[in-house]
Amino acid sequence: MANKQELLHFLDQHVFNPILKASPKGKGDADERKLKDVQDKTRSEQERFHHYSSAREIVDNYKSDLHSKTAHRVNKELEALNLPTLPSVREEFLKLAGDQSD
C-alpha cells in the first residue's frame, strides 16, 4: 500500500488542486456560483483527508465517499463544470493504494 503522503499527493494532483485552481472566467453567473460552491466543499474535503492519521484511514474514507449521497450531488456539479471527481480517479487511486476491493 502507498503511504499517507503518496495518497494525499495523488488526490491533490488529480482531484483537489484542479478544482481549487479552476477559474470562473468565461462562465455564466450560475456556473460561477456553482464553481465557488464546489471549491468551498472541495477545500473542506481536502482538509478532512489531510487530517486523517493513516493511509488506511484515507482509503477507507475515500471508498465511503464514493457512496455518499452528498458527494454524489457535488460530483454531478463537478462533472457539469468539466472538473475531476473522486470517482473519476477510482481505479488509479485504488491501484496506488494496493486495494482493488470496493
Which residues constitute the domain of residue 12?
A: 4-23+30-97
Domains held by the chain: number: 1
DSSP reduced 3-state for 99: coil
Mean pLDDT of all residues in 84-94: 97
| Residue 61 placed within a domain | yes
| Residue 47 placed within a domain | yes
Cβ count within 10 A of residue 40: 11
23-to-9, 30, 32, 33, 61 alpha-carbon distances in Å:
22, 14, 9, 12, 28
Q: What does the pLDDT look like over 3-40, one tens digit per residue?
A: 999 999 999 999 999 999 999 887 788 899 999 999 99
In angstroms, the CA 46 to CA 25 distance is 23
In angstroms, the CA 14 to CA 21 distance is 12
Q: What does the pLDDT look like over 35-74, one tens digit per residue?
A: 999 999 999 999 999 999 999 999 999 999 999 998 999 9
| Residue 102 placed within a domain | no
| Residue 66 placed within a domain | yes
| Residue 16 placed within a domain | yes
Ramachandran angles phi, psi of 75, nearest 5°: -60, -35
| Residue 78 placed within a domain | yes
